[in-house]
Amino acid sequence: MFLSMNNVHKSFTNNGKTELVLSNIQLDVKEGEFVSILGPSGCGKSTLLSIVAGLAHATEGSIELEGKTIKGPGKERGMVFQQAALFPWLTVEENVMFPLLPDMSKKEAQQKAQKYLQMVQLGAYTKHSPHEISGGMQQRVAIARALAMDPALLLMDEPFGALDEQTRSRLHEIVEKIFLETKKTILFVTHSIAESLKLSDRIVVMGTQPGTILEVIELNFPRPRSQSKEELLYYEEKIQALLKSEIDKVTEKEQKNAASR
């Protein structure tokens, strides 16, 4: 299997109190698959992605990528976060080149940067500074930067969470095109049911307290998908029903915490 999560548990200890955040996460991802992780706030989606990225460690269990246990960050995994985190003193092109330079000549890095900036439709903005382009464009630079490293696995943590609806929709089209062109395996964390229905081969629906996998939904629909399709509506309602009791759980806990203060 390309990516295997084996019985992953994760706990955090704060002020002497240990909280189990992820419990028994068992998931296999095939090469070339687009898998979304969807769940209520706080269910551990980002924590799980961080463990796959090697930025955090499982308390129990392990994750294997192409047969090798993940022990820390690696070049075969590229990450895109909610905030683009570009260097403000570098141009768009230099931001994409930056992580490449230790391994290749400036010319080669520039050629790669051009290629991936064109892929995210920013070929005309290579010499701009990050502050001269919109938030959606900055996020496209972050995607180009991750892709330029040619990772086997692209990890995206709510990459469009901070963007408006129209920009999101444009980025969905770009990501879908990249996915089809590069055939990269993508693990994509989102809050948005519509986003996951539009983009995924499979949706991993998570429950909370502790974070567990409730259901894995397979979507065998051709791309590009129209979000109003009736078949997709069936899945939308199914996911909403799955998430409702989980969101109620979160609300109840928040109210209890507020009352005890």
Q: Which residues bind ligand ATP (CB under 6 A)?
A: 12, 14, 21, 39, 41-47, 191
Q: CB of residue 189 vs ligand ATP: minimum separation in angstroms?
A: 6
Q: CB of residue 48 vs ligand ATP: minimum separation in angstroms?
A: 7
- Residue 249 burial by Cβ neighbours in a 10 Å radius (0-12, 13-18, 19+): middle
d(CA 183, CA 177): 10
d(CA 80, CA 183): 17
Nearest residue (CB) to ligand ATP, 152 versus 247: 247
Q: CB of residue 93 vs ligand ATP: minimum separation in angstroms?
A: 31
Cis bond upstream, residue 224 (ω within 30) = yes
Distances in whole angstroms, Cα of residue 183 to Cα of each of 68, 78, 177, 195, 223: 21, 14, 10, 19, 14
d(CA 149, CA 143): 10
Nearest residue (CB) to ligand ATP, 39 versus 159: 39
Q: CB of residue 43 vs ligand ATP: minimum separation in angstroms?
A: 4
Nearest residue (CB) to ligand ATP, 54 versus 99: 54
Nearest residue (CB) to ligand ATP, 21 versus 53: 21
